Amino acid sequence: MTARNRSRGPRTRKARRGPRADPPEKARGQLDVARAEEGPLTLGVSGMGFVGVAMAVAFAHYGHDVVGWDVVDRRREDIAKGRAPFFDPGLQETLSSAVRTGRLKVASDRESFFRRADVIFLCLPTPSRPDGSVETSFLEEEALRLGKLLRKGRSWKLFVVKSTSPPGTARKVERILAGESGKHPAQDFAVACNPEFLAEGSLVKDALEPSRIVLGTTDARAERALRQAYQGFPGKVVVLPPPAAELVKYSSNALLAVKVSFANEVARLSEKVGTDVYPVLEAVGMDPRLGPHFLRAGPGFGGSCFPKDLRGLVAFARQMGVAMPVTEGALSVNETQARHVVDLAEEASGGLLAGREVALLGLAFKSGTDDVRESRAYPILGELLKRGAMVRLHDPRSLENFRKGLPQLLSADPGPRVRFCERAEEALTGANLALLQCDWPEYREIPLPLWKQLKDRLVVDARRSIEGKELRKVGLRYVAIGRGEP
C-alpha cells in the first residue's frame, strides 16, 4: 500500500483544492496493486431505468459481474430475459449479450441483490417538484431499505449515488444509512457519488466511451473500488469531494442548455434580419473557445435531463441565496420557443390556423429514443389546439408513449381534433400543412409525391432536418426555423 493510501488526511486536503486526474503516464483503466487488493467486485445497480440499464450493460461489457434490481416486476422480468425495457440504439443487442454471457443477472428481491453486490450504484429517479427543486425521496427511501440490510451484513459495502441530485445528497444518503444500520461510515461502509453524462439516443455509446469519469469521494478505499469498477473504460478519471462532483453534472447540463437557448435567440433574430442562422452559428462554432456543439436552432430542449436539471440548479441556488439569471434565461427562452414554432406555422398559413389540419411529425423529445418526457411536441400541440387547429400525430417510435402522456397536457378530451396516425402517409395525406418537431431519418426519406399531398403545400421544419430546395422544386413552400427570407 502506498503512503497516500495509508493516510487519508493529506489526500483529503489535496482533493479539496480541485480535481485530481490520473497521471498521464498511467494507461487508461489500468489498476495498480493497491487498487486491486480487494479482488474482483460484483457491481450492483439499483434502479434499471435509462441510466441503470445503460451502466449495467457497460460494466458487463468490460468484464464485470453485475447484478441488477428494480422494484417494477415487469422490468426485472424483461431485463432478466435480455429484453430492453425501452428503445435506444444498440441497447437491445448489448443487453441480450450481457445476459447471454451471464455477466448481467437480475435479482428477484432486494435482499439477495444486497447480499451479492459489493458496490451498489443507486440509479433512482430524481424528478422535479412543483417549485423546480429536486425530489430525492426515492433515493432516501432506498437508502432506508438498504440500511436495514446493512445492519445485518458483515462485509464492507460501497454505495454510489449515480442519480443526478443536488450537492449534499451523497452526505444525506450516508447519514440515512448510518442511522438505519448503526454502522460507521468509512469503517463499515462508504458513500460516494459518480454523476452520469449519458445522452438518450446514444446511451450505450456514452456508457461504453465516457468523455470523463467523475468520482465524488474523499475515502481512499471507495476510490480504489470505483477505479476497479471502471477498469477498462476510456476517459480521464477526475476525483473530487462529493458536493463538487454533484455540482459538475448540473453545471454541465446548464451550460449546454444555455448554448441551445442562445442558438434559438439568434435564430429568431435571423428570421427578422432575413438571413439563415445555420451558417452564422457554424462560423461562431469555429471559435475553439466556443465549439460547434449544441449551437443549433430548433424547437427547444426537452428530455429527462436539461429542463429538470436547470430547474433543480436554479432552485438549489435560490436556497443558497445565489441568483442565476443566465440559467433562468435559458429556461425562459426554452418555454417560449414552442410558441415561436407555431407562430412560424401560423404566419406561413396566412395568419390563420383555425380549422386547418396540421400533421405534427415527431413526438419524441429527440430522434433515437422513444422517450417523450418534456418533449417540445406537447407544448406545440397545446398551442396548435389553442389556435383552433386539428392535429394529426405521428412518430416512428414513441406514438404510444406520447398518447399516455397526453392527458397531463389536455384538461378535456379533444375528440376528433387529435388523431394518432401509425404511418407518416396517413398523417400527411389530406392535411393542410406539416410541422416537423423531431429529426427522425425516416422523414428525410419521405418521397416528394407524398409531401405534395398537403393541401396548402406547406412544410414547417422546426429541426432543419429535410432538404428545402427539393421541396421547392416541386412547388412546395418550405419554412424553417432560423431561416429568414431576404
Would you call 480 exposed, middle or buried from its count of C-beta atoms within 10 A (0-12, 13-18, 19+)?
buried
Q: What pLDDT score was predicted for residue 45?
A: 98
Q: 335 with 187, same domain?
A: no
Grid cell 430546395 — which residue? 469
Q: 463 with 334, same domain?
A: yes
Helices (H) and strands (E) in the chain, counts: 20, 15
Q: 51 with 199, same domain?
A: yes
Q: 320 with 448, same domain?
A: yes
Q: Determine the structural domain holding residue 72 and report its residue range.
A: 3-240
Q: 298 with 190, same domain?
A: no
Q: 279 with 229, same domain?
A: no
Q: What pLDDT score was predicted for residue 20?
A: 56
| Domain annotation covers residue 270 | no
Q: 233 with 304, same domain?
A: no
CATH code: domain of residue 429: 3.40.50.720
Give the pLDDT confidence of 102-124 residue by residue, as tens digits. 999 999 999 999 999 999 999 99
The distance of Cα 58 from the centroid of its chain, to the nearest Å, equals 17
Q: How confident is the model at residue 411 (pLDDT cuts 50, 70, 90)?
A: low
Dihedral angle computed from the Cα positions of residues 314, 320, 322 and 325, in that order, rounded to the nearest 10 degrees: 10
Element of type H or E holding 255: helix 242-273
How many domains does one find in the chain? 2
- In the residue annotation, 438 being an active-site residue is answered as no
pLDDT score of 433 more than 70 = yes
Q: What pLDDT score was predicted for residue 33?
A: 31
132-136, 200-204, 278-282, 410-414: which range is least confident on average? Answer: 410-414
Whole-model pTM? 0.86
User: Which one of 224, 240, 256 terminates a domain?
Assistant: 240
Scored b (16 or more CB within 10 A) or e, 320-352 reads: eeeebeebbebbebbeebbebbbebbbebbeee
Q: How confident is the model at residue 84 (pLDDT cuts 50, 70, 90)?
A: very high
- Indicate the average pLDDT of the chain: 91
- Cα-Cα end-to-end distance for the chain: 70
Cα distance between residue 147 and residue 18, in whole Å: 31
Among candidate residues 193, 305, 421, 438, the one labeled active-site is 305
Q: 435 with 291, same domain?
A: yes
Cα distance between residue 365 and residue 421, in whole Å: 18
